[in-house]
Amino acid sequence: MTIDCLVLGAGQDVGKSCVVVTINGKRIMFDCGMHMGHDDHRRYPDFSLISESGDFDNALSCIIITHFHLDHIGALPYFTEVCGYNGPIYMTYPTKALAPLMLEDYRRVLVDRRGEKEQFSSENITDCMKKVTAVDLKQTVLVDRDLQIRAYYAGHVLGAAMFYAKVGDAAMVYTGDYNMTADRHLGAAQIDRLQLDLVITESTYATTIRDSKYVREREFLEAIHKCVDSGGKVLIPAFALGRAQELCMLLDDYWERMNLKVPIYFSAGLTIQANMYYKVLINWASQKVKNLSATRNAFDFKNVHSFERSMINAPGPCVLFATPGMLSGGFSLEVFKQWAPYEQNRIALPGYCLAETVGHKLMRAKPPARIDVDKSTQIDVRCQIHQLSFSPHTDSKGIMDLIRFLSPKNVILVHGEKPKMASLKERIESDLRIPCYYPANNESQRIESTQYIKAEASKSFLQSSLSPNFKFLKTISKADTGFILNERAESCVQVCDDRVAEGAVIMQKDQHPKIVHQNELMDILEAENHNVQVAYCCPVCVPNEPKNVALSPGEDMHPVLDKRSLLHLLYTKLSNDFQDVTIQNDGGCLQIESLTVSLCPKEKCPHRRHLNPVSTSEAVNFCCTWSMEDEKLAWRVISIMKNLELKTSAHLELKKCSDEGS
């Protein structure tokens, strides 16, 4: 079985997140965003790749929206109300509450201020949101009989969620945007340890490891304080939901501690509404904010006031939060045009800026410089530019930590820049040994998925696996490798519990798969049992008795003929070379797995393929038999036996006398 991923947006790019995943016949669209940096056909995903006929209801099982940012939800009203999708849509409760504000503000900026053709109306937004089903964190939702989904806390912005999806035995997680580090108003991402075939993760900061949060906050506050102290104005372009609340909390607290009187402003309208929702949805905020709510609401800012358009050129210092972020248009761009030409002012960019946006151009510029605001307008930029690392996205370390924790079988990177994604892919594959991919927009990636088969088990198989199967084998100790034949061998009893834990899976017509004991298999197949064994008669060299060794009265002149002694010598030699397997010696033969080694009593053995050595040594023949499954082991043993030289007690006595004489 496979999982097919069609990347319609955020493939080797940041913006327009939209990934269509097919799992065991179910097709899920994760996010339906727009691209903030384009105003042509590239603004929305190419929905024709889902269904050429436009029958999206049958083409998709459901849509899942991870959070309310426009690059994740901006195309949803267009897809539902213009393209005609009427199927299930899922998102968290805060996302459902805040998304209409973002969408309406975007529509108003495009139509009322830019004069562009309306992509969708206010009524379309309302009708779209009526189709949405809101979900709680960790609530398992059955989309249909086979598809289940579950949301997990992602940090990032209020209501952001990672989504787990499972169809049959195949399972995956789509992260959306997330943050592995808690900030002032949101907690860190949290997810259960899951068995996953695939994780699709954002990679905005694929190669960046951020400094300490406290260092970044101190740098931000010092820069703002320095600017307003010298009479300048500070513009902070930020989206109304997320970073605006985070930075407002930081500045409001700092203003209180420093007793500053310089006004802090929010651009009127959307942000005021957003703060109201933050107060209502405080249970989705960080634990610190929830604890504080017993005495006061953290979003009741004492030093933050509403800002009107008529105040743009008012004298005196101030700090202004204006939407949208990235200076991609709207009121923030209007204020920028007025404040940018003055050196005492400052523009603070608190996060990532898409290519082609004015914010991205500013990040690359060194004032004084001329910036192209649009095709017909240039602005002289003399103000100070301050880029801050207050992005709600996780950094490279956070991405690696999440993947290491989840340990999926495969990873797909989205929502990032191609060179940085390539670098992160190498790290994931080298450090975590997990296959990683980063397809471009409109490309597909196929992933092998898991499928488990439920099988019954026969009583015979279960009994053989659970019941003890003790065997008591008398063995000779292998501890004494210098054993002399004339001494008494030290014997011991070895206890084995040889349980059968293996069986055969059979699949018969119109019946469930079944695991049976190996002895049952032949009866079921109505076939005879054929046990194929291999035999080989192997020579082992035993030197002739030394002539200058005096034997005691009554001692055997041919100790090589002592069967038990020769077996023990062979056992000792093989035990040194095969410490990874159990060698059993019952006095009559050696047993290594299915391989049996015993002295061959036949003068003409049919399995003997050699001539006995002559003069200085004689060969003792050992007959070896084994089953086919131990073929490699058997030939390893035989190759060692062929090169052995079994020295008897007489040779050992001679060596002992020689050592004493020297």
Encoded tokens for 431: 């450090």
What stretches of 430-489 show up as alpha helix (H) in DSSP?
459-466
User: Taking the C-alpha atoms of 248, 252, 253 and 254 in order, what is their torsion angle to the nearest 10 degrees?
Assistant: 100
Pick the catalytic residue from 52, 123, 202, 545.
Answer: 202
386: β partners:
348
- Taken in order 95, 100, 105, 106, the sign of the CA dihedral is positive
- CA–CA dist 519, 500 (Å, integer): 11
Q: Distance (Å, rounded) from C-alpha 514 to C-alpha 467?
A: 20
Q: Which residues pair with 620 in a beta bridge?
A: 540
Find the DSSP H helices in 467-590.
518-525, 563-577
Residue type, 471: K
Q: Are the C-beta atoms of residues 23 and 62 closer than 8 Å to each other?
A: no
Q: For the CA atoms of 401, 407, 413, 415, what is the dihedral angle to 10 degrees?
A: -50
Residues with Cβ within 8 Å of 525's Cβ and at least 6 positions away in sequence, in order, are none
Q: Is 490 assigned a catalytic role?
A: no
The CA distance from 421 to 131, in Å, is: 35
Please enumerate in sequence order all residues whose Cβ is within 8 A of that of 527, keeping only pairs 6 or more positions apart, or say none: none
Distance CA(261)–CA(460), nearest Å, equals: 85
Burial of 432 (0-12, 13-18, 19+ CB in 10 A): middle
Q: Which residue has the tokens 């202004």?
A: 320
End-to-end CA distance of the chain: 75
- Give bridge partners of residue 448 from the DSSP assignment: 2
Q: Give 56-94 as a DSSP string.
A: HHHH-SEEE---S-HHHHTTHHIIIIIS---S-EEEEHH
Q: Is 566 exposed, middle or buried (0-12, 13-18, 19+ CB in 10 A)?
A: buried
CB atoms under 10 Å from CB of 637, counted, come to 26
Question: What sign has the CA pseudo-torsion 226, 229, 235, 238?
Answer: positive
CA–CA distance, 645 with 633 (Å, rounded to integer): 21
| Residue 647 to residue 639: CA distance in whole angstroms | 18
Give which of 322, 339, 348 is closest to 239, Cα–Cα. Answer: 322
Element (H, E) at 227: helix 213-229
d(CA 637, CA 450): 40
Backbone angles phi, psi at 450, to 5 degrees: -95, 140
Helix, strand counts (H, E) of the chain: 18, 32
Which residues are the active-site residues? 202
